[in-house]
A and B are shown apart, each in its own frame.
Chain A
Amino acid sequence: MKKGNKIISIFVLAGMILSAASALAGEIRIGITMRMVSENGQKYGQMVMDEIDLINQAGGINGNQIKATLMNDECKSDKGVANANKLIFQNKIHLLIGSTCSSVSLPIVDVTAKAEVPQIIPHSTNGKITQKGSAWVFRVPVSGRYYAGVNAKYVGENIGMKIAYICAADAASQNDCDAMQKQMRMQHGAEPVYVAQVQEKEVDFRTHMQKIKSAGVDGIMVAALAETMARALVQSYEAGIGPDVRRIGSSSASNAPVPKIAGDAVKGVFYAAAYSDADTRPVARLFNEMVRKRYGIHAPDHDFSQAYDLIRIVEIALNNAKVSLTSSSLKADRAAIRDAIAGIRNYQGLASGPISFCSDPSPVCRDGNKTPVLIAYTKGGEQYETEILARVTMPIDFGL
């Protein structure tokens, strides 16, 4: 190559690098990976994007625009990890939001810890997510350990000790089921009467229900994703188990497909969650109205409220973070955003209780919401209704 050509090539290359760097500078890049296969999943994914658009329209964060990339992981861990890797190494994001499912969030925690990218989780409840000790992970929702504590207390005091468990194979349900059994043992010395592990998308519960009926239980805990849970509830009545045997749901009982598919079989089912549409606070009523109008959802579940709270927390943290947003400051910016999220104290939003984080990479600091709310269905079907039974703030080290 001639000397002149070499010089031109160097200039062209330098120009390309500089233009790419300038394109990346001055914007906060957020990657989002969520389960967006169901109608609700798509809508709360859309809500996250809409809220980010509103922040940008209002001038962005300290004059910087947010560039959000939303990806669907379909609640599959391989897709979730692939999304996280793409967002971190190709899109060079400053912050990762996700995922919805515990089985997806769990392996992503290792990816973000290794790449040193802050990760904030909107929905996953599995206790192990924050017990891994990653300094880069934060959880907005209530951890499963708190849910189990509240459920076990209510069951022991109001229902009885003979509890049967149907536990689906997904990570969140397994965790909910194990934690509930542990709490029943610890709080009441009650051993499970019947435990069945079922497939994540099990369709036939009749054998289990017949055995549970023969065992004469006081309650049945169904820990499963929404559609599986709904099928189990319907089949429990088909097996002749009456309403005097109380049905306890895992936190996914909060999701709209449960009352929609289960119909009347959902009546009386209670569960612990982070939000209830029966919340009478003005902020909750406004939120319900907004979701109803914008997304046509009859009543937002805690997946909507948690996604909304998460965006507000991210907005506060980004406003507080000292970021340079140049191509060379990516590592420092990521650390600054992590520290800013760790600095969130007593955020009061839609959640059942205040959300706080701190810097220690332990569940005590990284499980933000410590206040589960105990909810019961009073009406099933598309126009379902719920009531709040109790709201309990748990000690921060509960269940550890």
Chain B
Amino acid sequence: MEFDFNSLFAFIIFGVTIGVVYGMVALGISLIYSGLDIVHFAHGEIYMFGAFFGLVLAKDMSIPYPAALIGAMILAGLMGMLIERVFYRRLTRSGGGYTVAGMGMIICGFGMSVALMNVAFLIWGADAEPFSIDLGMPLQIADIYIPQSYLLTAVVSFALMGLLHFFLKYTKIGLAVRAVAQNKDIAYLMGINVPVFISLIFGLACALAAAAGVLIGPMQSVQVEMGYLMLMKAFAAAVVGGFGSLPGALLGGILVGIFENLGAAYISPSHKDIYAFLLLILVLMIRPSGLFGIEAKVKA
């Protein structure tokens, strides 16, 4: 194929729009890792549930799309808090990271992933559901068509991440969340109700995953198996950006999105999913802690 700047621009736009979605899911994974010291393997299914929540609200209950997005985030957030409270708390109380309980948490995450997928299957069945929203004609720049849904995805994702940044950095609750993430024992001694804040972190992470699901729905339809590949890409994004780093998760997501789109465009279109993991290996070889990771992080 001949090289042309229009196509290159289009591939980068496509990469950014899918990349911010990877980034949002990765951000949730990083948040949970920061707060609970665990890698949450059921996060792909939370993303899938979020997409279905959005679909049900927008399609079956005829709620406008922006309200459906917020509604899905609230529902998924509450669902996440419930899962954390009922299933994960006993294990996380015994410690995460490399402890036996930490390993148990990983296995519990896998189990939760299968359980959630089966619950979704029972509720919504295996068929893919269209999630069409009418946002008007695509934006045309030179020879490139950019559907409004892509722009919406990018704008909403950046806005949500900006809000999260503001919340964590400039509010008292955000400060408490960061304190819990840094050291639970000291945070407890400072008078913070650590379990409540862990639930809050989990809920926030799940709400972000739900937002990603609702945003991707109009681009790719919604189905129960949609979580697995997203989880893999989000993991790649989180590791590329530096596990536990919130800005790293976003940058990692965008890099993964752009890298896989350019790889598919200029190397081989048949191996699109490999490029995300090639980038992951490349980054880990050069900088094992990821782009924004701390060199030797000892989890509390």
A: residues with CB less than 8 A from B are: 37-40, 196-199, 201-204, 206-208, 210-211, 213-215, 227, 230-231, 235, 238-240, 257, 260-263
Give the complex CA separation of A199 and B273 in angstroms: 9
Chain A residue at minimal CB-CB distance from B17: A206
Question: Do A196 and B270 have beta carbons less than 8 Å apart?
Answer: yes
A-B contact pairs, 15 of them (CB 8 A): A196-B270, A198-B272, A204-B220, A206-B14, A207-B261, A207-B264, A207-B272, A210-B7, A210-B144, A214-B2, A230-B128, A240-B138, A240-B140, A240-B145, A261-B129
Given contacts A38-B125, A210-B7, contact A238 B138 (CB under 8 A): yes
Given contacts A207-B14, A231-B220, contact A37 B130 (CB under 8 A): no
Question: Which residues in chain B, 108-137, are within 8 Å of chain A measured between CB atoms?
Answer: 125-130, 132
Q: Which residue of A38, A40, A210 contacts B14 across the interface (Cβ within 8 Å)?
A: A210
Question: Do A210 and B270 have beta carbons less than 8 Å apart?
Answer: no
Question: Do A210 and B10 have beta carbons less than 8 Å apart?
Answer: yes
A386 to chain B minimum Cβ distance, whole angstroms, is 19
Chain A residue at minimal CB-CB distance from B146: A238
A133 to chain B minimum Cβ distance, whole angstroms, is 31
Give the complex CA separation of A264 and B262 in angstroms: 30
Chain B residue at minimal CB-CB distance from A199: B273
Question: Which residues in chain B, 216-274, are within 8 Å of chain A measured between CB atoms?
Answer: 219-221, 223, 225-226, 229, 261, 264-265, 269-270, 272-273
Give the complex CA separation of A197 and B271 in angstroms: 8
Question: Do A227 and B221 have beta carbons less than 8 Å apart?
Answer: yes
Main secondary structure of the interface of A (DSSP, over half): helix
B138 to chain A minimum Cβ distance, whole angstroms, is 7
Sample of 19 further A-B pairs with CB below 8 A, known A38-B125, A39-B126? A40-B127, A196-B269, A197-B269, A198-B270, A199-B272, A204-B14, A204-B219, A207-B11, A207-B14, A207-B272, A210-B14, A211-B1, A211-B269, A213-B143, A230-B221, A238-B138, A238-B147, A260-B130, A261-B221
Question: Do B220 and A203 have beta carbons less than 8 Å apart?
Answer: yes
Chain B residue at minimal CB-CB distance from A381: B130
The yes or no answer to B295 lying at the interface (CB within 8 A) is no
Give the complex CA separation of A230 and B18 in angstroms: 19
Chain A residues with CB below 8 A from B60, complex form: none
Choose among A198, A206, A257 the residue with the greatest number of B CB atoms under 10 Å from its CB.
A206
